[in-house]
């Protein structure tokens, strides 16, 4: 037994859920040790895919996952996915082999530059403790941690040692009385739940009912309030017009574990009254410091109607998307496509959305069963992560239909992982919103020279068939007839242009 094997054994004992990676000589032994000790392993075809699969798996299972990479180039290839995870505070462990020779790069600097933590295994005596500490940092601080494994240390003889599960301390809430008095003083409160509130549906809905508050989520927490009659859905660019009006009419917005980005608030335009924040992170200077579920259940307010009036209810019930259908038989309106997919897909689904002009359509039109039904890896706004996100989410939620909604640009960037979808035989539906362009850029720059961002039509259905998927070209609703959801399937939807999506126009305005 050597140090590499001890690291794998230790992480298995700590209970990591799943490992993803691309294996080279430097991470061969540690990866096999994880597998030998019972950690499921999925081989990706590119390290960026591996990192994003691990990130999505962690988000859709609430468990720590691992990505394992070769020294130097394995880590640099994984960096975009690691950055997304780090910015999203995903508890993810990156096992990175590390060379002292020609292939050496400063792996600590790479990790720190993208807001991940950097650490390493330095000796036989300290290997177990250093591995446990990396795991503890990932869990306790909700951090993405790069654990470097120097090649010379990896091969030293070592013995596994017993490990104990690190305890996660909860922060006792501070400032709860102030929040209660803000809520009591508000006539039209709205609660917005973010990533830090994904576990707190019950507590938040109980408090919202007493306070007469309407509830909404940020995009990454989509699904938390699914089925709740007073829910406004996603706050921000993907909101229906009625939801946006009601949020901007609030005299108090309480952000629960939510960072209120410009996307969630339409550049601040949705926030017209008082804003209060509840968060475990003291750095964001919250009104109440503490865990969302705990703070919500301790906040005592008298029961009243608040924002939950009959008039608001009837506005909510009539809130719908309206549009003029631009489909013409050769190109399908992306809104019509999304609406129809929502109708025909099983409700037990997990939806992953890539970045681009198209991204609002699936996010706004596809309903999701709960917070484990939507996975948005968009903290870094990279295109090309959507397909790998859907793979990680599919493995974490194996009883749901995985749906990958992607643009043609992001899809072609990440196409290597199609082989992974087929090899795993995932019953995934991949929907390519194909406008033969980097549509977001086309709409952003209006009437400029578009030669750099437009492309000839690509027959993506034919490419997918080559990988072994079932595939269709979709130009009209009829092309969706008789779809089944039991094998890897791709829809190459040739979409009509609506002149730039409403949410992007908003963001660029
Ligand atoms: C890695 C990366 N490179 C470049 C960009 C800039 N960018 C933002 S959207 C976009 C176009 C995406 O095209 P596509 O996936 O076809 O979706 P569409 O905008 O056409 O709906 C690009 C290039 C980015 N966000 N990420």
Is the per-residue pLDDT at 63 higher than 90? yes
Distance between Cα 351 and ligand 1 center (Å): 19
Read off the tokens for 425. 């035989």
DSSP bridge partners of 157: 2
Main-chain phi, psi angles of 60, to 5 degrees: -90, 0
Kindly list the protein residues whose Cβ atom lies closer than 6 A to any atom of ligand 1.
Answer: 355-358, 381-384, 407-410, 433, 435, 437-441
Distance between Cα 434 and ligand 1 center (Å): 12
Q: What's the pLDDT band for 166 if we cut at 50, 70, 90?
A: low
Distance between Cα 383 and ligand 1 center (Å): 5
Distance between Cα 407 and ligand 1 center (Å): 8
Q: 234: part of which helix (H) or strand (E)?
A: strand 231-234
Q: Who's near 457: CB < 8 A, 6+ residues apart?
A: 434, 436, 494
Distance between Cα 381 and ligand 1 center (Å): 9
Per-residue pLDDT reduced to its tens digit, 25-57: 999 999 999 999 999 999 999 999 999 999 999
The mean predicted confidence, pLDDT, of the chain is: 95
3-state SS, residue 306: coil
**Integer CA distances (angstroms), 112 to 87, 107, 315, in order:** 12, 9, 48
Task: Output the CA torsion 463→464→466→467 (10° steps).
Answer: 130
Per-residue pLDDT reduced to its tens digit, 310-332: 999 999 998 888 899 999 999 99
User: Using N-to-C axis directions, what is the helix angle for 28-36 and 3-14, rounded to 10°?
Assistant: 40
> Using CA positions, which residue lies closest to atom 1 of ligand 1?
382
Distance between Cα 492 and ligand 1 center (Å): 17
DSSP bridge partners of 436: none
> In testing the pocket of ligand 1, which one of 408, 409, 412 has its CB within 8 Å of the most ligand atoms?
409
Residue with tokens 């198209």: 358
Is the per-residue pLDDT at 169 higher than 80? no
The reported pLDDT for the residue numbered 17 is: 97
Q: What's the pLDDT band for 171 if we cut at 50, 70, 90?
A: low
Per-residue pLDDT reduced to its tens digit, 453-481: 999 999 999 999 999 999 999 999 999 99
Read off the tokens for 291. 């865990």
Read off the tokens for 480. 């969706």
Euclidean distance between the first and the last CA atom of the chain, given in angstroms as a whole number? 60
Greatest CA span in the chain, whole angstroms? Answer: 72
The reported pLDDT for the residue numbered 443 is: 85
pTM here is: 0.97
How many residues would you count in the chain? 509
The reported pLDDT for the residue numbered 170 is: 65
> In testing the pocket of ligand 1, which one of 353, 376, 388, 410 has its CB within 8 Å of the most ligand atoms?
410
Region of residue 499 (phi > 0: left; psi between -120 and 50: alpha; otherwise: beta): left
Q: 97: part of which helix (H) or strand (E)?
A: strand 92-98
Q: Which residue blocks in 71-214 are alpha helix, DSSP H?
A: 73-87, 107-113, 127-140, 151-154, 176-184, 201-211
Per-residue pLDDT reduced to its tens digit, 357-390: 999 999 999 999 999 999 999 999 999 999 999 9
Per-residue pLDDT reduced to its tens digit, 257-297: 999 999 999 999 999 999 999 999 999 999 999 999 999 99
């Amino acid at each position: 037994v050597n140090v590499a094997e001890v690291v794998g054994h230790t992480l298995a004992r700590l209970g990591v859920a799943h490992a993803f990676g691309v294996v080279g000589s430097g991470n061969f032994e540690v990866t096999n040790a994880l597998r030998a000790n019972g950690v499921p392993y999925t081989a990706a075809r590119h390290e960026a895919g591996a990192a994003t699969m691990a990130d999505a798996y962690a988000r859709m299972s609430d468990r720590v996952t691992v990505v394992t990479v070769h020294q130097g180039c394995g880590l640099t290839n994984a960096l975009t996915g690691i950055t997304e995870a780090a910015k999203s505070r995903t508890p993810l462990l990156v096992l990175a082999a590390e060379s002292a020779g020609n292939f050496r790069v400063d792996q600590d600097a790479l990790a720190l530059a993208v807001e991940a933590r950097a650490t390493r295994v330095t000796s036989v005596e300290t290997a177990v403790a250093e591995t446990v500490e990396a795991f503890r940092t990932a869990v306790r601080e909700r951090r993405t941690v790069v654990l470097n494994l120097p090649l010379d240390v990896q091969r030293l003889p070592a013995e596994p040692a017993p490990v104990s599960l690190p305890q996660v301390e909860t922060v006792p809430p501070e400032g709860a009385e102030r929040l209660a008095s803000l809520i009591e003083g508000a006539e039209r409160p709205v609660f917005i739940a973010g990533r830090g509130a994904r576990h707190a549906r019950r507590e938040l809905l109980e408090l919202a009912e007493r306070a007469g508050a309407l509830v909404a989520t940020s995009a990454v927490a989509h699904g938390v309030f699914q089925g709740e009659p007073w829910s406004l859905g996603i706050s921000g660019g993907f909101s229906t017009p009625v939801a946006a009006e009601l949020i901007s009419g609030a005299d108090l917005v309480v952000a629960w574990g939510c960072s209120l980005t410009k996307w969630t608030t339409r550049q601040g335009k949705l926030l017209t009254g008082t804003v209060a924040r509840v968060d475990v992170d003291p750095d964001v200077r919250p009104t109440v410091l503490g865990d969302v579920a705990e703070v919500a259940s301790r906040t005592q307010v008298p029961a009243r109607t608040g924002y939950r009036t009959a008039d608001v209810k009837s506005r909510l019930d009539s809130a719908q998307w309206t549009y003029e259908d631009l489909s013409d038989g050769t190109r399908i309106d992306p809104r019509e496509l999304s609406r129809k997919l929502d109708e025909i897909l099983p409700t037990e689904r997990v939806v992953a959305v890539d970045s681009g002009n198209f991204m609002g359509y699936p996010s706004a039109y596809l309903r999701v069963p709960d917070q484990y039904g939507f996975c948005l890896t968009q903290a870094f706004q990279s295109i090309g992560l959507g397909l790998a996100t859907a793979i990680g989410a599919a493995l974490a939620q194996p009883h749901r239909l995985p749906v990958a909604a992607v643009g043609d640009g992001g899809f072609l960037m990440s196409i290597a992982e199609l082989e992974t979808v087929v090899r795993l035989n995932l019953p995934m539906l991949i929907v390519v919103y194909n406008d033969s362009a980097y549509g977001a850029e086309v709409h952003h720059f209006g009437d400029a020279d578009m030669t750099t961002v437009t492309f000839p039509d690509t027959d993506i259905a034919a490419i997918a068939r080559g990988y072994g998927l079932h595939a269709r070209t979709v130009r009209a609703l009829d092309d969706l007839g008789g779809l089944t959801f039991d094998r890897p399937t791709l829809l190459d939807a040739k979409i009509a242009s609506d002149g730039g999506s409403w949410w992007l126009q908003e963001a660029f305005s």
